Amino acid sequence: MTINDPLRPEWLPRDEFLPMALVPSGRWWHGVRVPPATAPMVLARLNCHSGPVIEDLPGWTWLVPLDAGEMPLSGAQLLPEGHLVAVPPPGRRHRGHPRWLGALTPTCLTDSRHLRQALTAIGTPGRTA
């Protein structure tokens, strides 16, 4: 996906030269943040069922649909509505934080059922923000 791609979500930053845009969780999607120590295990468990992930210093953030419902949050944090998420531009994948892990898709969302299953399989206590 490029900056001018017609399928690019409206909340995705348009300027590749800016480090990020601050986007509120709960407007277009909900953010689910997983600690860096366990996030690689969640990503591995999701395998091809993961949408792109935002890797940042506080943790890795998966974006899930607004109608995701309650999530058993095994070691994860459901970001509250309005919580600002640092969203990198589409091209940031290799250096710096925040950056994207995985190819961007038209929605950039992960199916909440698959994320819920992966978090549950990891089996660590969850929390909400």
Model-level pTM? 0.86
The pLDDT assigned to 91 comes to: 81
The pLDDT assigned to 13 comes to: 87
Contact status, residue 78 vs residue 69, Cβ threshold 8 Å = no
Nearest to 84 by CA among 16, 31, 7, 18: 31
Interval 85-104: pLDDT, tens? 999 988 887 777 899 998 88
Neighbours of 6 (CB within 10 A): 6
- Whether 127 has a pLDDT exceeding 80, the answer reads no
Strand pairing category for 127-128 and 77-78: parallel
The pLDDT assigned to 6 comes to: 61
The distance of Cα 46 from the centroid of its chain, to the nearest Å, equals 13
Annotate 105-127 with b (16+ C-beta within 10 A) or e (fewer).
eeebbbbbebbbbbbeebeeebe
More confident site: 96 or 72:
96
Binned at pLDDT 50, 70 and 90, residue 59 comes out as very high
The full set of domain ranges for the chain reads: 21-128
Q: Which tokens sit at 67?
A: 């109608």
